[in-house]
Every structure is written in structure tokens, then in C-alpha cells.
């Protein structure tokens, strides 16, 4: 009887290794198929929010925010267009480039270069890096990126090319990655310029004697938690790379805001104030967790470790269903029509790859989701489903910023994490 337990454990371990090998093969094949699609279609893309940036879209959304249900008839046509025939947007808008997408694609190709050593991946990453410089937003203290359309939200109108902290850090990571891969000083200089923007042009709103929330853009004074997480990571990383203690001091206040905003159950609200922003959702929670973990690779702070573990426990318990699929909200809005949002898949896979050596369950979940993604939600031409509606209808029109780039990036993160573990 004493020998049965080790034997059973050995069989289980062998089965797990076989399953992981099968998923790794699926992921590698899925990456190759997406590469083929991307090569054919290029880096310019339509976007889920581009039609909302037209004159009618801005009017409809403004009316909805101001009038509530009275505005529903005005936003309904765009919602129907998006759900039933998203390709019709080509009548009203054109494809464009997005810093979020290009930044993540750059890092994805650098991941593939690190895994394979193939120069073609480094060459593609370098090309993307050059492209991003061409459409960075001018007029600020450093390089920065936003969206090429107007964005009407519940706080007002943010004009096209307003730089955002949710876009710019992906470009920061891309240029740091290019420097690490090539040793070229100019990439490090670009990264420092980006950090200067993040330090100088974004606002701090005090929330306690030792904490402050970072703004989403240079135009607001919001208290959005994931925005503060992105900003804190950039500033901590800039201090580590460039020895900038004043950056670290600001980052610490933003970090304190995040830690102090975590609820007793481990969750974070999207924002700590603001009408309609007291929700808890999947991918914004993942944003906070991944940035906290990256920050703590530098700080080694037990309080941050504890926050990540507690946040992960809530995330896993409340933002995934019994089948292991991501739920968009911890408490679902009444009229939610989306069953599966593939952006949630992307962020969960990236988070799981990142947490591989810290929370093994996170990596297991990432493996499971990657298998489903490549097996059920990748289309024959190589791109991925955008979302699945509750009636089973699949939205298949591809947007690079949401979520094609994120899904590709997540799979390369998982591949790199798997290969790194095997090499060790």
C-alpha cells in the first residue's frame, strides 16, 4: 500500500506533462497561424470604438450619458451594427495604427525571438518600433500614445490623440525590450523619454497622507485603479533603469493608493469614485494584478505579495465560471449580452504566464484557457473570435487593439514562460 501513492503521483505527473505538451503544441501552432494572418492583413486595423468617434457616435453616446434611457434609441443602431455587421464601419471610418496593439505585437515578436533565435522576429519588432515613433503624440514632455479617434465617456469628450496611461506603457515595455535585445542606446533613450511623460504630464490626486491616484491622461483627475497601476510600474521601472529616486517616490504614492483601495475580499473597483465606475470586472482586475507583480519583481515587498495573492484568490473565485471560462463582471449588469469576451482570455493567459513561479494555479489556468482559445476560438485563417454572445453567436470581425494583439501577445508570453521553465 505504501508504494501506491508514489506510483499514483507519478502517473498523475506524467499525465499532466503530456497534457501540457499537447497545449504547448497547440499554442505553437496557433501562433504560427496568427502570424500568417497578420502578415497578410498588416498592422493597420479598425477598432471597436472607432464608429463611436464619428459625429453621430459622439452625439449618441453623449445623449446616452446625459439622458440615460432616453438615449438608448440613439446608441442602438451602433450596437446593432457592431453585433450584426461590424464590417459596415468601413463606410464611416478607416483603418489606423494603435500604440497599444503595436507595443504588444513588438513584445510578442521579441518573445518569439528569445524562444527561437530567429532574426526575422527581431526584424519585425524593430520595424514596429520605428512605426510607433511616427505616430507618437507630440506636445508633451516625452513620447506618448493615445487613440486616433475622439472618445466620449461619462466624464466628457477626450479628443483624438489624447495620450493615455493605458496605452503608453506597452510602448515603454516594447522599447525596453528592443534595447535588451539589441543593446542600442537609442531605444533606452526613447524609453526614458516615455517615462518623462508619465512622470511629468500625468496628474496626482492625493487620496491619503501617503497615497495618490494617477490620472488616466493629462486632461483628467480620475481615480482609476488600473491607471495608477500602469503608472506605478513605469515609474518604478524607470527608477531601476535610470536611477531616478523622484520617480520612485511618485510611484510609491500610486502604489499605496492601489494597496489602500483593495477591498477586504481582495477585489478592486474599477475606480474609487465616479458615476457608474464602481464595478469589478475581469481584465481590469488582471491589469492591476500583473502590474503589481511586475512592480514587486523590483521591490520584493511582502505587502505587495500579499495583495497579489489576495487579489488572485478573488479573481479566480469570482471572475471565472464553473467551467473555468472568464466572466466579464463579478456582478453581471442586467442587460449583459456577451457570454465570452476574448480580451478576458488574453489577460488571464498573460497573467498566468507572469505568475508561473508565484501562483502555480494561475499558470495551470493559463494553459487551460490557451488550449480552449486555440482549439475553439481561432478561425481557419488564423485570427481569433472577438467575443461570443449569449445566444452562441460569434463576433469574428478582427480588431488588432481588441483583442487580436492581446491574444497573440498572451500566447507568446505563455510560450516564453513554458520554454524558460523547461530550460531551467
Where in the chain are the domains? 96-423
- Predicted TM-score (pTM) of the model is 0.93
Query: 84 — phi, psi (to 5°)?
Result: -100, -35
E-strand ranges in 202-292 read 204-208, 211-214
Lowest mean pLDDT among 3-12, 95-104, 244-253, 255-264: 3-12
- Distance between CA 225 and CA 422 in Å, rounded? 35
- The set of residues, in sequence order, having a beta carbon less than 8 Å from that of 28 and lying 6+ positions away, is 415
Q: How confident is the model at residue 16 (pLDDT cuts 50, 70, 90)?
A: low
pLDDT tens column, 266-311: 999 999 986 678 899 999 999 999 999 999 999 999 999 999 999 9
Residue 14 has pLDDT above 60, yes or no: no
Rounded Cα distance, 192 and 243, in Å: 11
As a whole number of angstroms, the distance between CA 308 and CA 314 comes to 10
Q: Read off the pLDDT band of 111 (50, 70, 90).
A: very high
pLDDT of residue 6: 65
Predicted pLDDT of residue 69: 86
- Range of weakest confidence among 183-187, 332-336, 362-366, 409-413: 332-336
- pLDDT over 80 at 1, yes or no: no
For residues 145 and 137, is the Cβ–Cβ distance under 8 A? yes
Task: Give me the mean pLDDT over the 338-347 stretch.
Answer: 96
Instruction: Give the mean pLDDT of the chain.
Output: 93
CA–CA distance, 312 with 162 (Å, rounded to integer): 32
Examine the pLDDT at 349 and tell me if it is beyond 90: yes
Owner of C-alpha cell 499514483: 8
What's the confidence (pLDDT) of residue 17?
63
| pLDDT value of residue 68 | 86
- Among 237, 128, 216, smallest CA distance to 173 is for 237
pLDDT digits (tens, 9 = 90+) for 373-415: 999 999 999 999 999 998 889 999 999 999 999 999 999 999 9
Nearest Cα to Cα of residue 147 among 350, 344, 407, 402: 402
The per-residue pLDDT for 149 is 95
Classify domain 96-423 by CATH architecture. Alpha/alpha barrel (1.50)
What dihedral do alpha carbons 392, 396, 397, 401 form, nearest 10°? 100
Q: How confident is the model at residue 23 (pLDDT cuts 50, 70, 90)?
A: confident
pLDDT higher than 50, residue 326: yes
Rounded mean pLDDT of 202-215?
A: 98
- Write down the pLDDT at residue 97: 98
pLDDT at residue 19 in the model = 66
In which residue are the cell numbers 521553465 written? 421
Percent of the chain with pLDDT over 90: 83
Peptide bond into 403 cis (omega under 30): yes
What are 161-176's pLDDT values in tens digits? 999 999 999 999 999 9
pLDDT category at 423 given cuts 50, 70, 90 is very low
Between 334 and 36, the more confident residue is 36
Does the pLDDT value for residue 57 go beyond 70? yes
Per DSSP, the residues of 36-69 read HHHHHH-S-B--TTTGGGSHHHHHHHHHHHHHGG
pLDDT at 424: 32
The confidence score (pLDDT) of residue 60 equals 93
Amino acid at each position: 500500500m505504501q508504494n501506491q501513492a508514489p506510483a499514483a503521483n507519478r502517473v498523475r505527473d506524467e499525465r499532466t506533462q503530456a497534457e501540457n505538451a499537447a497545449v504547448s503544441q497547440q499554442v505553437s501552432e496557433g501562433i504560427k497561424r496568427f502570424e500568417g494572418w497578420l502578415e497578410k492583413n498588416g498592422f493597420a486595423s479598425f477598432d471597436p470604438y472607432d464608429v463611436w468617434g464619428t459625429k453621430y457616435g459622439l452625439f449618441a453616446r453623449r445623449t446616452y450619458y446625459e439622458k440615460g434611457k432616453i438615449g438608448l434609441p440613439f446608441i442602438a443602431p451602433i450596437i446593432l451594427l457592431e453585433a450584426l455587421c461590424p464590417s459596415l464601419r468601413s463606410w464611416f471610418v478607416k483603418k489606423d495604427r494603435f500604440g497599444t496593439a503595436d507595443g504588444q505585437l513588438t513584445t510578442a515578436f521579441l518573445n518569439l525571438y528569445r524562444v527561437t533565435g530567429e532574426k526575422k522576429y527581431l526584424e519585425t519588432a524593430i520595424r514596429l518600433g520605428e512605426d510607433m515613433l511616427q505616430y507618437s503624440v507630440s506636445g508633451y514632455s516625452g513620447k506618448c500614445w493615445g487613440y486616433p479617434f475622439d472618445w466620449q465617456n461619462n466624464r466628457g469628450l477626450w479628443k483624438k490623440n489624447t495620450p493615455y496611461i493605458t496605452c503608453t506603457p506597452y510602448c515603454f515595455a516594447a522599447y525596453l525590450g528592443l534595447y535588451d535585445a539589441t543593446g542600442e542606446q537609442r531605444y533606452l533613450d526613447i524609453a526614458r523619454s516615455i517615462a518623462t511623460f508619465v512622470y511629468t504630464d500625468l496628474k496626482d490626486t492625493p487620496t491619503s497622507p501617503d497615497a495618490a491616484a494617477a490620472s488616466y491622461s493629462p486632461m483628467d483627475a480620475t481615480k482609476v485603479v488600473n491607471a495608477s497601476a500602469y503608472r506605478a510600474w513605469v515609474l518604478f521601472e524607470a527608477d531601476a533603469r535610470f536611477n531616478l529616486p523622484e520617480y520612485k517616490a511618485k510611484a510609491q504614492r500610486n502604489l499605496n493608493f492601489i494597496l489602500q483601495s483593495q477591498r477586504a475580499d481582495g477585489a478592486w473597483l474599477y475606480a474609487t469614485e465616479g458615476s457608474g465606475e464602481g464595478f469589478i470586472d475581469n481584465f481590469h482586475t488582471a491589469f492591476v494584478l500583473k502590474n503589481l507583480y511586475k512592480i514587486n519583481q523590483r521591490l520584493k515587498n511582502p505587502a505587495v505579495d500579499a495583495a497579489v495573492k489576495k487579489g488572485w484568490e478573488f479573481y479566480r473565485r469570482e471572475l471565472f465560471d464553473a467551467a473555468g471560462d472568464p466572466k466579464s463582471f463579478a456582478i453581471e449588469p442586467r442587460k449583459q449580452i456577451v457570454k465570452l469576451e476574448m480580451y478576458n482570455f488574453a489577460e488571464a493567459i498573460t497573467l498566468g504566464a507572469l505568475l508561473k513561479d508565484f501562483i502555480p494555479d494561475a499558470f495551470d489556468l493559463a494553459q487551460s484557457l490557451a488550449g480552449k482559445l486555440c482549439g475553439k476560438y481561432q478561425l481557419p485563417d488564423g485570427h481569433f473570435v472577438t467575443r461570443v454572445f449569449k445566444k452562441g453567436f460569434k463576433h469574428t470581425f478582427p480588431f488588432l487593439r481588441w483583442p487580436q494583439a492581446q491574444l497573440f501577445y498572451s500566447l507568446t508570453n505563455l510560450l516564453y514562460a513554458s520554454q524558460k521553465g523547461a530550460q531551467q
